[in-house]
Amino acid sequence: MNPLGIHALVWAGDLSPASTRHVIEQTRQAGYDLVELSLHGPRLMDLALTRDLLQEHGLGVGCSRGLTFEADVSSEDPAVVARGLALLQEGVDITARLGGRYFGGILYGAMAKYGHPCTPRGRRNAIEAVRRIADFAGERGVTLGLEVVNRYESNLLKTAAQALEFIDEVGQPHVCVHLDTYHMNIEEADLAAPVLACGQRLGYVHIGENHRGYLGAGHIDFAQFFGALAQIGYQGTVTFESFSSAIVNEQLSNALAIWRPMWEDGMDLALHARGFMADGLASAQQARA
Ligand code: FUD
C-alpha cells in the first residue's frame, strides 16, 4: 500500500506553532501516514517543535512550494535567479531538518500566470538551478520533485513529457516527476499515458479533483489514474490536495485562485479522501493481480 499523505492547507493556512500542532494532530487523527507542509507565506515555523511533533505522532513529512516572480530561477536576470536559488536551498534545508526526504512543487519557476513564454535562456537558467539544488539535496538525502502544473501556474512544465525532457537535461539523480490529477485534467490528453511515460521516474503524486474539492464530486477519472499507477508498480507517496476559501494562506491561495468555499470541515473532507484513495488504489492493484 502506498503511503498516504495530505496537504497542510486542509487544516491551516500558516505554520505557526499552534497551527503546526493542529495540522499534525489532525493528520494523524484522520489516519494519514505523511503531511505535506507548504512553505509559503511568512516564516513562522519552529523547526525543532515541528520535528518533535512529527516524531511524537509517528508521521512522515514532505515539503512543497512554488517560486515567485521576484525569486524565479527561470528568469534571465541573475539577481532574480539568485533569489530563487536561495528559496530552493532553504526549502531543501527545512525538509532535511524536519527529517523529510521529499521537497517538491514548482521549483523550476514562478507559480504564477506568466504573460509570455519561457525564453531559451530562462529555461537554461532553470535547468542549471535545479541541477545545483539537486546536488545540495542529494547530500542531505532529499529528492526534488518537479510538479507539472497547468498553464495558469507555469510557462515551463505543463506536461509529463516536458518534465521528462527537462529532467533528462538536468541529468542528476534525486530529481523526479511529480504529477497532479488536477493539473493533468487541464493539460494532458488522458490520465494514464503520462504516468506510463514517467514509469520509475514518477516520484510523487497529488490527488485532486477538477475543482479541488471533495474527491469523486467532480469528473476526474481516478480509476484510470490509479490503474496506471498500478501498471507501473508505483510504490511512492500519494498525497491528497484540496483547497477552499475556508482556509487561506494569502500567498498560496491567491496564486492558485482559491476563491470558492469548496468545503468547511477539513476532518470530514480528509476522512472521505483517505477512504477514496485507499479504495481506489486497492481496487486498481487487485484488478492487476
Ligand atoms: C499548485 C499545486 C500545489 C503547490 C503546493 C505548494 O497548483 O498544485 O501542489 O505546488 O501546494 O505547497
Ligand 1 atom nearest to 63, measured from its CA: 12
Rounded CA separation 26/6 (Å): 10
Give the pLDDT confidence score for residue 289 in this predicted structure: 83
Substitution site in 7, 238, 248 for ligand 1 pocket (most atoms within 8 Å of beta carbon): 7
Residue 153 in contact with ligand 1 by CB distance below 6 A = yes
* Strand 102-110 versus strand 60-67 pairing type: parallel
Ligand 1 close to Cβ of residue 64 (< 6 A): yes
pLDDT value, residue 42: 82
Characterize 230-259 residue by residue with b for buried, 16 or more Cβ atoms within 10 angstroms of its Cβ, and e for exposed.
bebebebbbbbbbbbebbbbebbbebbebe
ipTM over 0.95: yes
> Measured from the CB, is residue 251 less than 6 Å from ligand 1?
no
Cα(167)–Cα(18) distance, integer angstroms: 38
Element (H, E) at 26: helix 17-29
Q: How high is the pLDDT of residue 84?
A: 98
Answer whether 66 contacts ligand 1 (Cβ < 6 A).
Answer: yes
SS3 content of the chain, % helix, strand, coil (to 5): 45, 15, 40
Nearest alpha carbon, ligand 1 atom 3: 105
Within 8 A by CB and 6+ apart from 63, the residues are 36, 37, 38, 39, 91, 94, 95, 98, 100, 102, 103, 104
Ligand 1 atom with the shortest distance to the CA of 256: 7
- Residue-by-residue pLDDT tens, the chain, 289 positions: 899 999 999 999 999 999 999 999 999 999 999 999 999 988 899 999 999 999 999 999 999 999 999 999 999 999 999 999 999 999 999 999 999 999 999 999 999 999 999 999 999 999 999 999 999 999 999 999 999 999 999 999 999 999 999 999 999 999 999 999 999 999 999 999 999 999 999 999 999 999 999 999 999 999 999 999 999 999 999 999 999 999 999 999 999 999 999 999 999 999 999 999 999 999 999 998 8
Q: Is 105 in the pocket of ligand 1 (CB under 6 A)?
A: yes
234 and 226 in contact (C-beta within 8 Å)? Answer: no
Are the beta carbons of 284 and 229 closer than 8 angstroms?
yes
Hey, whose CA ends up nearest to atom 7 of ligand 1? 256
Indicate the angle between helix axes 222-231 and 266-288, nearest 10 degrees.
Answer: 50
- The Cα–Cα gap between 135 and 141 comes to 10
